[in-house]
Chains A and B, each alone.
Chain A
Amino acid sequence: MNSIFRYLKSKLHVLLFLFLEIFCIIAIIRNNSYQSAFYFSNTRKLSGKVQETNHSIFDYFDLYHKNQALSNENLELRRHLKENYLIESRKVFTVNDSVYKQRYEYIPAEVITNTINQQNNYITINRGSSSGIEEGMGVFCPEGLVGTIIQVSENYSIAKSLLNTTVKIAPKIQEMNLSKGTIHWSGRDPNSIDYLEVNKYEQIKKGYHIVSSPYSNNLPENIPIGTVDKLETKSTDDFYIIKVKLAVNFGKISTVYVVKNLFKKELMELEKKLNEPKP
């Protein structure tokens, strides 16, 4: 033991030098935008390749779950088929094409990296600006809502998952058709999320479904988020403390869809006009 210390002491200057240099390089990367862009664009290219290889190997082991999720989704979609419904008024369906205009487009993507054990979790997917992905787009998987895109490079993009303490999403309670409150992750349990700011006089029950609200520009309505798991009230507080069990098992997501709102540009322009000073 003593000889180790003696050796380290004799090499103190080298260790100190290396330590300070590493410290400086980290400082450069963190604080200088040009150097950090250089570093991240090059390392992301490399890490993207490595992770993709890794993903392509381990992808096979999860095929069973993927199949199941897809077939469930198929079933769900089949339920919505036009043939399942009785046509009451022929008139509506004959003008079908001009009444319904496509609002959302979906871009399928594979998850290549994913974390669930940090305070702010991110997901990298193998599609980027070359596939038409932009910042702010919503991401969901067959089981439910996953997150929103925050960074896009040419072939990859990074999404903030719901398991991120900075995420705030406006939800809707499906059974009551009520859009209220916000969804926020406390950073502890990757299977549950907090539903805040709901007045305790609302008649919420355990098992109600929480879905995405109709007021978002980035997500279609009714994408599942989870089910109400625990309801608590405090006499001192006007709001419920609601724990929502997430619909998505974030440890297992592999195929996701990115939502493209075809009217987003139009909507944004409209909203911009509203904010412009009137002549």
Chain B
Amino acid sequence: MILDIAKYLGLYALLIALQIFVISNVTISSNLGAYFQPQLVVMFLLLLPPRMSHVWIILVSFAAGILLDTFFNTMGINAVVCTLIGYMRHYATRDIENEIATREEDNKIWTSKKGRPWKWTYFICFIFLYHFVFMIIESLSFKNFLTVILPAALISTLLTFVFTITLEDLIYKPTKS
């Protein structure tokens, strides 16, 4: 139990570090800044154990968002989106929770009995939702919707998704399943 908590905290620290030291530096130095804004913290929210209670997921998501906000000086914007994701992802992972599964693996998104198509859809939908809502709140207008917001959300979603499945391959070797 404590080991699990430590693992998730480690994942969160890793994602925040990547966000601060790698992604924000790349964003600043390239001209594609507006389109290249992957928010890795969304992975942390999506990978929380499915059997965790809904209330706890919301609280943890909120805390994760607020902490991220303090690093990026965007008080509340990340927290609003993280809380939304935390609230909604429960409805996607609910049936894992409901399965009478005693296997420990089922309490992890990556190793659960759900197949790869489900996992990928799950990741893509929520990663896109996160980036889309984040960018809408950040710009608060639909003026550049088709030229900036939508392409930026799609590109960032793709990048985050590729990163997610790469990390999965790195951490969970295929031999395990």
A residues at B contact (CB < 8 Å): 12-13, 16-17, 20-21, 24-28, 30-32, 34-35, 38
Ranked nearest first, the 3 interchain pairs of A and B with the lowest CB-CB distance are: A27-B76, A31-B75, A28-B76
Q: In the assembled complex, how far is the CB of residue B83 from the closest CB belonging to chain A, in whole angstroms?
A: 5
Q: Which residues does chain B contribute within 8 Å of A38, judged by CB atoms? A: 140
- B73 CB, min distance to chain A CBs, angstroms: 9
Residues of A contacting B84 with CB < 8 Å?
21
Of B13-21, B24-32, B55-63, the stretch lying at the interface with chain A is: B55-63
Q: Is B155 an interface residue (CB 8 A)?
A: no
Shortest distance between the CB of A44 and any CB in chain B (Å): 16
Instruction: Please indicate the chain A residues that have their CB under 8 angstroms from the CB of B86 in the complex.
Output: 17
Q: Which residues of chain B are near A12, meaning CB under 8 Å? A: 55
- Since A17-B86, A20-B62 are in contact, a sample of 18 more A-B pairs with Cβ atoms closer than 8 Å, ordered by chain A residue number, is A12-B55, A13-B55, A13-B87, A13-B90, A20-B79, A21-B80, A24-B77, A24-B79, A26-B76, A27-B75, A27-B76, A28-B75, A28-B80, A31-B75, A34-B140, A35-B77, A35-B137, A35-B140
Contacts of B65 on A, CB cut-off 8 Å?
24
**How extensive is the interface on chain B, given as a class?**
10 to 19
- In the bound complex, what is the Cα–Cα distance between A93 and B55 (angstroms)? 83
* Residue from B54, B74, B75, B137 in contact with A13 in the complex, judged by beta carbons closer than 8 Å: B54
User: Which residues of chain A come closer than 8 Å to B59, judged between CB atoms?
Assistant: 16, 20
Q: How far is the CA of A16 from the CA of B55 in the complex (A)?
A: 7
Instruction: Give every chain A residue within 8 A of B62 (Cβ-Cβ).
Output: 20, 24
Q: Smallest CB–CB gap between B149 and chain A, Å?
A: 15
- Tell me the nearest residue of chain A to B139, going by C-beta: A34
Please state if A17 and B58 are interface contacts (CB–CB under 8 Å).
yes
Q: Which residues of B contact A25 (CB under 8 A)?
A: 76, 80
Cβ contact within 8 Å between B58 and A16: yes
Least Cβ–Cβ distance between B74 and chain A, in angstroms: 7
A21 to B84, CA, bound (A): 8
Chain B residues, Cβ within 8 Å of A28: 75-77, 80, 137
12 residue pairs from A and B, CB less than 8 Å apart: A13-B55, A13-B58, A16-B55, A16-B59, A17-B58, A20-B59, A20-B83, A24-B79, A28-B75, A31-B76, A32-B76, A35-B77
Question: Inside 8 A of A31's CB, which chain B residues have their CB?
Answer: 75-76
With both chains docked as a complex, state the minimum distance between the C-beta of A93 and any C-beta of chain B, in angstroms.
62
> Which A residues are CB-close (under 8 A) to B58?
13, 16-17, 20
Which chain A residue has the least Cβ–Cβ distance from B79? A24
Q: Quick one: closest A residue to B63, CB to CB?
A: A20
Is B79's CB under 8 angstroms from A17's CB? no
| Chain B contacts for A16, CB-based, 8 A | 55, 58-59
Q: Mark B64-78, 1 if CB is under 8 A from A, else 0.
A: 010000000011110
Question: Chain A contacts of B75 at CB under 8 A?
Answer: 27-28, 30-32
* Residues of chain B within 8 A of A24, CB atoms compared: 62, 65, 76-77, 79-80, 83
Cα distance A31–B77 in the bound complex, in angstroms: 10
Nearest chain-A residue to B82 (Cβ)? A24
Chain A residues with Cβ below 8 Å from B83 are 17, 20-21, 24
Q: Which residue of B lies closest to A35 (CB)?
A: B140
Contact A27 B79 (CB under 8 A): yes
In the complex, A61 Cα to B84 Cα: how many Å?
49
Flag B26-48 by CB within 8 Å of A: 1 or 0 each.
Answer: 00000000000000000000000
Most chain A C-beta atoms within 10 Å of own C-beta, residue among B76, B80, B137? B76
Closest to B75 in A: A31
- Determine the chain A residues whose CB is within 8 A of the CB of B55 once the complex forms: 12-13, 16
Q: How far is the CA of A230 from the CA of B122 in the complex (A)?
A: 74
Compute how far the CA of A13 lies from the CA of B58 in the bound complex, rounded to whole angstroms.
Answer: 8
Point out the residues of chain B lying under 8 angstroms from A13, CB to CB: 54-55, 58, 87, 90
Which residues of B are found within 8 Å of A30, using beta-carbon distances? Answer: 75
